[in-house]
Structure 1
């Protein structure tokens, strides 16, 4: 069965818009990764500062491969194979929008989908 990774991001109110814009700018980046199944960015609505980044993968190995390749390139602000000089900010990565993060890991043991009409 699949695995789920939830990155819990602590995002101060003043950087929420920045975080959401950065995710929107990277839309589609994870979807082509081998073993990728699902992504959702969840905005808090109950007064907490925690965003949840939900990803679902075919296997732990697929997730690890993504971490070592495409995700690492995305978080350094460059494409795989690029150099820091390729970054639009003159080689410096932008300041993180989140002030902290925790990664939760789960195995899918049951699932359901809406019934088809």
Structure 2
């Protein structure tokens, strides 16, 4: 069964637009990574200041290979000032998976 990685990123309100723009510019860059299954960027609401970056992977090895390869190279090559003031990575095993209906 799949694994899920959730990166919580604390972003000041004035930097949110920039964070979303950066993610939009890189949209699809992870899609071809072996073992990658899906991605969501969740914007905070109701007084929360953390974004949640959720990725699904076939297994831990696929995530580690991406993190230590393509992801590291992409972040190193950006040369942009960080917009987040903090981040934490959480990992989970998928126990029950009910797919969402497809949307256009």
TM norm. shorter chain > 0.5: yes
Q: Distance in 2 between matches of 1:12 and 1:28?
A: 25
Gaps of 5+ in 2: none
Gaps of 5+ in 1: 79-92
Q: Distance in 2 between matches of 1:16 and 1:115?
A: 28
| Mapping 1:17-36, distance limit 5 Å | 17-36=17-36
> After TM superposition, which residue ranges in structure 1, 4 or more long, deviate above 4 angstroms?
none
User: How much does 1:76 deviate?
Assistant: 1.1
Between stretches 66-75 and 55-64, larger displacement belongs to 66-75
User: How much does 1:77 deviate?
Assistant: 2.3
**Structure-2 residue corresponding to 1:69:** 69
Query: 1:76 aligns to what SS in structure 2?
Result: helix
Q: Cα deviation per residue 1:49-100 (whole Å; 9 max; x = unaligned)?
A: 100000000000000000111100111126xxxxxxxxxxxxxx11111100
| Mapping 1:44-83, distance limit 5 Å | 44-77=44-77
**Structure-1 residue corresponding to 2:16:** 16
Computed over aligned residues only, the root mean square deviation of the Cα atoms, in angstroms, reads 1.5
User: How much does 1:25 deviate?
Assistant: 0.6
**Structure-1 residue corresponding to 2:82:** 96
**Structure-2 residue corresponding to 1:113:** 99
